[in-house]
């Protein structure tokens, strides 16, 4: 609550002009910091271990 909302980013203190925030660009982000590298999990089995053909045969065989 006691924060001064007119304060700009570091290096631009004490200005009340909101446009002063955008006078300089931030440091560019490195690709290594942006892209997360890990092996994805294997895709889940859509039949959940069942054989749909066998299930169809058992249901409709009688």
Q: What pLDDT, in 10s, does the model give residues 7-40?
A: 545 555 556 788 888 888 888 988 888 887 777 8
Enter the tokens of residue 62. Answer: 């009688």
Q: The pTM is what?
A: 0.26
The Cα-based distances of 9 to 21, 23, 26, 34, 49 in angstroms read 7, 11, 10, 22, 56
Token pair of 25 as six digits: 């660009």
How far, in Å, CA of 9 to CA of 20, rounded?
Answer: 9
Distance between CA atoms of residues 20 and 22, nearest Å: 5
Q: What is the pLDDT of residue 9?
A: 54
Q: Compute CA 6 distance to the chain's CA centroid, rounded to the nearest angstrom.
A: 30
């Amino acid at each position: 609550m006691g924060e001064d909302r007119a304060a700009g980013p570091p290096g631009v203190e004490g200005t009340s002009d909101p446009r002063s925030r955008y006078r300089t660009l931030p440091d560019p982000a490195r690709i290594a910091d942006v892209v997360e590298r890990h092996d994805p999990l294997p895709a889940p089995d859509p039949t959940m271990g069942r054989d749909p053909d066998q299930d169809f045969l058992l249901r409709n065989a009688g």
